[in-house]
Amino acid sequence: MADHRQRRKPGETREKLMNAALELVGKGRHFASLGIREVTRQAGVVPTSFYRHFRNMDDLGLQLVDELGLVLRRMMREARGNVLQADKLIEESVGIFISHALANRNFFLFMAQGLAGESRAVQEGIRSEMRFFASELANDLRRLRLAEHLSDKDLDVTCDLVVRTVAFSLTDLLGVSVDDDYQVDQIRKRTTHFLQLIFVGAANWQSAK
Amino acid sequence: MADHRQRRKPGETREKLMNAALELVGKGRHFASLGIREVTRQAGVVPTSFYRHFRNMDDLGLQLVDELGLVLRRMMREARGNVLQADKLIEESVGIFISHALANRNFFLFMAQGLAGESRAVQEGIRSEMRFFASELANDLRRLRLAEHLSDKDLDVTCDLVVRTVAFSLTDLLGVSVDDDYQVDQIRKRTTHFLQLIFVGAANWQSAK
DNA sequence: TGCTCTTGTGTACAGTTGTTCACTAATGTG
DNA sequence: CACATTAGTGAACAACTGTACACAAGAGCA
């Protein structure tokens, strides 16, 4: 029998496995219900290869969270680069978020699943990414002098709420078909509305106490 | 061999199976990863019995969503009965929510999981419960004359945001141990803060447009 | 009472699962 | 170049999976 061994680049199979898991998630499966054999089958790799790169499915999940972090940071960088004037800040940011979510659909699906997922470690990882995101947002708002009347704690809570709201919109967004422009636009408008509501609340916070 | 058949009440095994699924979820498993045999084992019932009541696991999930609806309605009724004065409305409501979430921990875990779960039907069912909840909230706010300056659409968006925010807090709440009073109280305070922020936003909405 | 319908049981089976093992080709390091 | 390490393969196995079937005990109704 011919042996079809051909290792091209180091870590290639590893990527194939991680992509395979994401693809299955993209097809509507839940990460928690995926099995090793299933993933290797989708990746076109023999089951035993799995163990060369991951100890189990939880391990793979954790490594996916790490990559998710990169995706989120890319998104943040683009958002920062595109903030032109403050009054369009929300619309622009929501737009960037949505386009990234659609472009990296499977990653964000994985994120949405992981928030209430099976592995505590994955859950904590995603949560930690969200915290980081919120703190970066707080920094930006301070830097842009948009939150000078808020205490550190109040700003922290506000940013946390913003991030949660956007994360929840993920669940809406990923439920509709990618090219259903109308629905996507509805979600964009609604999310924008949410954030405006929150920022109006933050702007009038001091006087309300 | 003795035959231990003893059917006490109609639908008893059905309940046992649904409870078994919830118990497994409560133990940290994800609903999507549960199998028929596993659930029947936990319920102390033979695997074949499952098919007398459900066609498959998705079917069981759907019926759990129906029961979840009852739990939510009970919670709403209690919240309505305990609204004394408007200024403590948020604190009281959050308190009632948290105590219900802790008392029906497994149900709410199932709900949090189902939002990004595997079965589209379960997902839609939970989403529908949330919409209903939001519309009831809108009715109450109108009735209490707390939202007279808001258009129907703006009130709708506000209530949606409130429900989402509370639902997201579920994920925090269910991640901590039930008797970690300190953490639970932190979550209570933070959720209250979120809602206050949103309502301040709603109160100042008109002037901001 | 006898009848039918519902619900629970035991057995069975083919397919799938996670994991171990010994083997081999390619890679990087000296 | 030789050599140790890494990354891939296929066969094997016991355990578990979903589902089908035939059967029996009890419930409800005539």
CB pairs under 8 A between A and B: 113
Q: What is the mean pLDDT of residues A27-45?
A: 97
**Number of residues that make up chain B:** 209
- Spatial neighbors of A63 by CB under 8 A, at least 6 apart, are A18, A54
CB contact under 8 A, A28 and B175: no
Which among B175, B190, B198 has the least Cβ separation from residue A198?
Answer: B198
In the structure encoding, which two tokens stand for residue A121, read together? Answer: 């470690």
In angstroms, rounded to a whole number, what is the distance separating the alpha carbons of residues B150 and A146? 26
User: For residue B5, what pLDDT is reported?
Assistant: 47
Long-range CB contacts (within 8 A, 24+) of A103-107:
A104/A71, A105/A26, A105/A174, A105/A178, A106/A22, A106/A23, A106/A25, A106/A26, A107/A22, A107/A64, A107/A67, A107/A68, A107/A71
Query: Does the structure show a pLDDT above 90 at A87?
Result: no
Cβ B5 to strand D below 7 Å: yes
CB B119 within 8 A of CB B58: yes
User: For residue A55, what pLDDT is reported?
Assistant: 97
Query: Does the structure show a pLDDT above 90 at A206?
Result: no
Q: What is the mean pLDDT of residues B164-192?
A: 96
B7 vs B126, more confident: B126
User: For residue B26, what pLDDT is reported?
Assistant: 97
Interatomic CA–C1' length for residue B59 and nucleotide C11, angstroms: 26
**Span A137-163, pLDDT tens digits:** 999 999 989 989 999 999 999 999 999
In angstroms, rounded to a whole number, what is the distance separating the alpha carbons of residues A51 and A57? 10
Q: What is the largest CA-CA distance in chain B?
A: 79
Nearest nt by C1' to A49 Cα: D8
What are the structural domains, with CATH classification, of chain A?
9-54 (1.10.10.60), 63-208 (1.10.357.10)
Arithmetic mean of pLDDT over chain B: 92
Interatomic CA–C1' length for residue A54 and nucleotide C16, angstroms: 21
**Span B24-72, pLDDT tens digits:** 999 999 999 999 999 999 999 999 999 999 999 999 999 999 999 999 9
User: For residue B209, what pLDDT is reported?
Assistant: 54
